């Protein structure tokens, strides 16, 4: 651990404002934030004109281990997050075996302690084997410190009574239900992209908006009755945004996340039916994308989460109707958002940072803030550095993403986790 150092003259995201400050770190904690700090025999790190902020949290990551290590491992996934500015990652439960028992979760925790490059939490499954038929032992599982809530992500909970039972139990435990909202009937028909112009042009079976928003509406109705904490994964439709907006007006404990790819792309930007554009939920219409951007700007969608979903190159080489759903996102999420949204004056930098740092911590009850006497989880980006996203520079074991060859601004210069400098350029 670097015992003492000063970050000099960075553009610091401090108390939700961007201000030029020095930051003094000692023994893993932020000890002082001021206009100018000078101390004898303390290393000074020049971060002038660089963004300095709390390390990001990604509350939606598929680390694939155990069971699918050919796609990703805890080591490679968290290292990818580290290079993307993420100090904390929350893993999804759809591993093999599924994270639906105390034993599997304790094994996962041991793997994390051995291999992880960032802080890691996990969601437990809601139902055993994600099958939607029997609840996991929620009361026992939530006692494990690494478990931060419950999600069957990868599958929607199809049975209304099962979701009601899960919400009631989560309410008793003061835990959170994180829902993949999807009527699976479209998938059973072989749907692979959004139902719209692209699907018709390429004679592909489409996934309609109702497959998402009908389950969002069902679940919010249950929250009205039960009063539990409830979060919607990877919101993709304008109707879901409106449902979450209404729930917030009613002061329900309802929140939503949006993924970078849904903010940046729509289905009319899919190139040559390439499977790198295939994800679930799919890229929607321009109208839906604009609604997501508006929802983010208005605070309806509080969190940006990548839904990092690695697959092998062989799997993604298949045609779009046969390849698996999902793209990677950890390493380049912030540069893409900064380049395509902030620099184009579509979304403010403060809004992006709130959605990556403060808001996920609040929703998941994770301690930590950028302030004096707080642990030093800090990322530093050179916002003026332009570079091209190249496959050979990707840290993940997989490279399934539609942004290869894209030029972005914002290179990670420094990464500090728990007070220790993990990366320095």
- 154-205 pLDDT, tens digit per residue, is 899 999 999 999 999 999 999 999 999 999 877 778 899 999 999 999 999 9
Residues 304, 165, single domain; the answer is yes
Domain that holds residue 34: 4-52+373-424
What total of structural domains would you count in the chain?
A: 2
Residues 121, 31, single domain; the answer is no
Phi and psi at 18, nearest 5°, equal: -95, 110
Q: Are 275 and 246 in contact (CB under 8 A)?
A: no
Helix (H) or strand (E) holding 44: strand 43-46
Q: Is the dihedral of CA 258, 263, 267, 272 positive or negative?
A: negative
The domain that contains 152 carries what CATH number?
3.20.20.140
Residues 196, 79, single domain; the answer is yes
pLDDT digits (tens, 9 = 90+) for 24-43: 999 999 999 999 999 999 99
Indicate the pLDDT class of residue 1, thresholds 50, 70 and 90.
low
Residue 92 reports pLDDT greater than 70: yes
Q: Is 393 a known active-site residue?
A: no
User: What's the whole-number average pLDDT of the chain?
Assistant: 96
Q: Is the peptide bond before 14 cis (omega within 30 degrees of 0)?
A: no
DSSP 76-99: HHHHHHHHTTEEEEEE-S-SSS-S
CA distance 78 to 416: 14
Q: Is the peptide bond before 66 cis (omega within 30 degrees of 0)?
A: yes
Burial of 171 (0-12, 13-18, 19+ CB in 10 A): middle
Residues 60, 48, single domain; the answer is no
Residues 316, 392, single domain; the answer is no
Indicate the pLDDT class of residue 395, thresholds 50, 70 and 90.
very high
Place of tokens 């989560």: 170
Q: What percent of the chain has pLDDT over 90?
A: 96
Alpha carbon of residue 249 to chain centroid: 25
Identify the domain boundary among 347, 364, 381: 364
Residue among 46, 307, 367, 377 flagged as catalytic:
307
pLDDT digits (tens, 9 = 90+) for 99-152: 999 999 999 999 999 999 999 999 999 999 999 999 999 999 999 999 999 999
Residues 344, 355, single domain; the answer is yes
């Amino acid at each position: 651990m670097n015992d003492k150092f000063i970050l000099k003259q960075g553009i610091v995201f401090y108390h939700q404002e961007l201000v030029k400050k020095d930051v003094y770190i000692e023994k893993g904690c932020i000890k002082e934030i001021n206009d100018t700090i000078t101390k004898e025999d303390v290393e000074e790190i020049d971060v002038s004109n660089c963004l300095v902020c709390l390390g990001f949290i990604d509350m939606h990551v598929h680390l694939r281990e155990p069971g699918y290590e050919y796609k990703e491992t805890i080591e490679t996934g968290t290292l990818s997050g580290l290079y993307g500015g993420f100090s904390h990652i929350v893993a999804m439960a759809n591993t093999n075996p599924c994270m639906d028992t105390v034993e599997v979760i304790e094994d996962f925790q041991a793997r994390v302690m051995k291999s992880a490059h960032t802080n890691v939490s996990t969601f437990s499954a809601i139902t055993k084997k994600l099958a939607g038929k029997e609840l996991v032992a929620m009361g026992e599982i939530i006692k494990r410190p690494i478990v931060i809530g419950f999600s069957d992500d990868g599958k929607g909970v199809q049975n209304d009574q099962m979701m009601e039972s899960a919400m009631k139990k989560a309410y008793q435990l003061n835990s959170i239900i994180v829902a993949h909202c999807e009527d699976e009937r479209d998938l059973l028909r072989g749907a692979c992209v959004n139902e719209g112009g692209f699907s018709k042009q390429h004679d592909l079976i489409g996934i309609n908006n109702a497959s998402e928003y009908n389950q969002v509406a069902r679940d919010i109705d249950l929250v009205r009755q039960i009063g539990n904490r409830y979060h919607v994964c990877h919101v993709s439709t304008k109707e879901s945004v409106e449902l979450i907006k209404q729930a917030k007006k009613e002061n329900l404990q309802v929140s939503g996340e949006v993924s970078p790819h849904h903010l940046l792309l729509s289905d009319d930007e899919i190139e040559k039916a390439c499977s790198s554009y295939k994800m679930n939920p799919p890229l929607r219409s321009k109208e839906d994308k604009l609604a997501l951007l508006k929802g983010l700007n208005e605070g309806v969608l509080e969190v940006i989460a990548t839904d990092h979903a690695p697959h092998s190159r062989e799997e993604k080489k298949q045609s779009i109707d046969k390849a698996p759903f999902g793209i990677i996102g950890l390493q380049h999420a912030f540069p893409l958002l900064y380049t395509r949204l902030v620099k184009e004056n579509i979304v403010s930098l403060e809004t992006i940072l709130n959605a990556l740092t403060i808001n996920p911590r609040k929703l998941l009850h994770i301690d930590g803030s950028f302030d004096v006497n707080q642990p030093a989880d800090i990322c530093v980006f050179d916002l003026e550095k332009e570079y091209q996203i190249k496959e050979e520079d990707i840290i993940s074991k997989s490279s399934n993403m539609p942004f290869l060859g894209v030029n972005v601004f914002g290179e990670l210069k420094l990464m500090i986790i728990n007070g220790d400098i993990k990366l320095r350029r």
